[in-house]
């Protein structure tokens, strides 16, 4: 994979067809090119830019492939190499980025590694009681699902807006107004999550699935159990795991077993089948890892997904 990326980058540099990308962004009618890896980044930029026609935004992961399995195409590499601003998460799944940036055509590119922006706020993936154990994992892995914290979102949106303003100072007042409006919405939604968490009958979420929501649960003081860690590639849960989780549903008097988007819910169904009541709801929280350009065209936004997740959380904690 690294060899493939290096070859593509070399070809881009040798052809020189993108030399014009070193022209100052915004000059001579040239639009500012901002490339993002995932949907939340894309939507944050879109919300800051608003109706400005001076910026063109690209979302690389636009066809439902999630961050953990993404491999850039030659076209993706060209877009990143020649853009004015590149925004990526910065975790282990983005290991391909280093090679692309080493050969970037635009030496004035603004690069935002969101892991770097959050710094000490990052959280390690953890293995809680009852999870399927993964062999051979000894190195510390940080949870890449940073966008699932509304508190993180406020920090990241502010940083992104500041860098866009540096690229396009003529529209500073517009971007600042959009940032203020968007930050207010994030703050209000964060308050809504806090209210639901504090008012819930129970304080624990149980996932018959992977668990990418650690940032969210930590933000609001919630406990959790899950079949797998957030980035796990496992799809089959052992009998012991299923029974452990079913017993936790009974012990904590939970009314729901949660899944994430895109799965077949088979593990969650098996857990419910092994509880005492066998009538718990199976609810889905959306981790935004499979949102496509078609979803965006249909009106999906970061805020709309997080609002739907809030209603799911309300039901799960009732």
Least confident of 60-74, 112-126, 163-177, 265-279: 60-74
Best CA proximity match to 87, nearest among 58, 49, 53: 58
Q: What's the mean per-residue pLDDT of the chain?
A: 90
Cβ atoms within 10 Å of 144's Cβ, excluding its own: 23
- Residue 140 above 90 pLDDT? no
Q: Where are the alpha helices (DSSP H) in 94-149?
A: 97-102, 114-118
Task: For residue 85, give the H/E element and its range.
Answer: strand 85-88
- Residue 26 above 60 pLDDT? no
Q: How far apart are CA 290 and CA 215, in angstroms?
A: 19
Q: Which CATH class is domain 2-184?
A: alpha beta
Least confident of 213-217, 223-227, 234-238, 303-307: 234-238
Residues of the chain with CATH 3.40.50.1980: 2-184, 201-317
pLDDT of res. 18: 43
Q: How far is C-alpha 226 from the chain's CA centre?
A: 19
CB 57, CB 49: distance < 8 Å: yes
Signed CA dihedral, 252, 190, 47, 67: sign only: negative
Best CA proximity match to 208, nearest among 238, 173, 181, 180: 238
Q: Does domain 201-317 have CATH number 3.40.640.10?
A: no
Strand, coil or helix: what is 203? coil
pLDDT of res. 69: 79
Question: What tens digit of pLDDT does each residue of 50-85 get?
Answer: 998 899 999 998 887 778 878 888 999 999 999 999
């Amino acid at each position: 994979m690294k060899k493939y990326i290096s070859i593509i980058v070399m070809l881009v540099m040798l052809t020189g067809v993108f030399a014009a990308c070193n022209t100052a962004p915004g000059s001579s009618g040239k639009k500012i090119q901002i490339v993002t890896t995932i949907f939340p980044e894309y939507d944050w930029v879109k919300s800051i830019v608003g109706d400005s026609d001076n910026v063109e935004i690209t979302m690389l992961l636009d066809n439902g492939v999630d961050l953990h399995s993404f491999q850039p195409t030659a076209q993706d590499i060209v877009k990143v190499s020649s853009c004015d601003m590149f925004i990526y998460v910065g975790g282990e799944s983005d290991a391909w980025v280093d090679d692309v940036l080493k050969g970037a055509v635009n030496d004035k590119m603004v690069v935002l590694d969101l892991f770097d922006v959050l710094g000490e706020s990052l959280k390690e993936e953890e293995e809680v009681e009852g999870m399927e154990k993964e062999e051979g994992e000894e190195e510390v892995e940080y949870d890449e699902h940073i966008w699932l914290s509304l508190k993180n979102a406020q920090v990241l949106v502010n940083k992104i807006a500041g860098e866009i303003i540096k690229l396009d100072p003529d529209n500073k007042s517009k971007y600042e107004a959009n940032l203020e409006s968007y930050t207010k919405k994030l703050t209000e939604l964060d308050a809504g999550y806090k209210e639901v968490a504090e008012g819930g009958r129970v304080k624990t979420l149980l996932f018959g699935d992977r668990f990418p929501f650690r940032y969210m649960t930590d933000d609001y003081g919630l406990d959790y159990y899950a079949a797998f860690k957030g980035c796990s590639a496992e799809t089959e849960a052992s009998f012991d795991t299923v029974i452990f989780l079913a017993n936790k549903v009974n012990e904590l008097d939970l009314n729901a077993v949660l899944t994430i988007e895109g799965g077949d819910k088979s593990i969650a169904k098996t857990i419910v089948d092994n509880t005492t009541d066998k009538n718990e709801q199976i609810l889905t929280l959306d981790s935004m890892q499979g949102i496509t350009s078609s979803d965006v065209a249909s009106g999906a936004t970061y805020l709309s997904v997080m609002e739907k997740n809030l209603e799911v959380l309300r039901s799960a904690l009732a």
